[in-house]
Structure 1
Amino acid sequence: MTHTHRIRVYYEDTDLAGIVYYANYLKFIERARSEWVRELGLDQARMKAEGQGVFAVRRVVADYLAPAHYDDMLDVTTEYLRHSGARLVLWQTVRRGGKTLFKAEVTLVCLADSGRPQPLPRPLTEKIGDFPPYKPYV
């Protein structure tokens, strides 16, 4: 499954040089992940309330390839790579037109209220179990 979320670059996203500040790419991919989960039909607030855990980023391996600028329209894609136990690994890219500006492999972990890892929620694993893993061209 490939999910795409469109984002416009606002002035607040840029630095003094007029390009997107590097940390804002992490915000962009966070928003896209939230929309990916929503598109799967899952409500993260309800999952937390029902004791099914919350997601926390454990690891990000990112490459910044080219800058985005004020007023650009960006497409942020999220693709399922793999999962096991409490871990979910996704591949995310930020593109302007057909050009890849940023790419990252993001590892999430599902945490209980105690802060300890817990298995991924069954509704999520049932949904992603149908998807073949994405094989990114790195």
Structure 2
Amino acid sequence: MAEFEFPIRIYWEDTDAGGIVFYANYLKFFERARTEWLRARGVQQQQLREQTGGMFVVSECDVKYLRAARLDDELVITARLEEAGRASLVLTQQAYLQTGPGQRGALLSQARIRIGWVDATRLAPARIPSSLIERLTS
């Protein structure tokens, strides 16, 4: 599947007292990129919940931290669909330092994230609608 890219700039709110990105904020960056990946495929999460009664939730996350990002750095966050099952999707995501327009520098962090589909009312696992799978895998 094609790789999606989302740019992010590092602000004070993203860093610790030393100006280094707080490790948990990479999860927020990855979440934003996944949301924008869905939007790029015409999927609005609130609308999806209203129309289907279901929603995605993170069920597994494996993150590796390789290098630090700092205040004012520009990053490129990627998302790539690796697996599409009946009730979950697996995406791989990376955070790169951006060295210039369209140019990636050092790999800062990488993750493998499983998002499961649940009934939004009961939060019970459910099958992803086939029309949604088709939209995300084409």
Q: Do they fold alike, i.e. is TM over 0.5?
A: yes
Secondary structure of 1:110's counterpart equals strand
Matched with 1:111 is: 118
* CA apart distance, 1:77: 0.3
Contact 1:44 1:54 in 2 (8 A): yes
TM-score by length of structure 2 reads 0.90
Gaps of 5+ in 2: 99-104
Contact 1:52 1:120 in 2 (8 A): no
Match of 1:101 among 108, 128, 135: 108
Secondary structure of 1:81's counterpart equals strand
* CA apart distance, 1:96: 0.3
TM-score by length of structure 1 reads 0.90
78-87 vs 48-57, which deviates more? 48-57
Tell whether 2:41 aligns with 1:10: no
Summarize deviations over 1:68-121 as a string: whole Å, max 9, x none.
Answer: 000000000000100111110000000003210000000000110211111113
Pairs aligned (count): 130
Mapping of 1:22-33 within 5 angstroms?
Answer: 22-33=23-34
Task: Output the CA distance in 2 between the equivalents of 1:5 and 1:123.
Answer: 25
Match of 1:127 among 112, 115, 135: 135
Task: Output the CA distance in 1 between the equivalents of 2:39 and 2:129.
Answer: 14
RMSD: 1.1
After TM superposition, the runs of 4+ consecutive aligned structure 1 residues lying more than 6 A away are none
Task: Output the CA distance in 1 between the equivalents of 2:40 and 2:63.
Answer: 24
Secondary structure of 2:123's counterpart equals coil
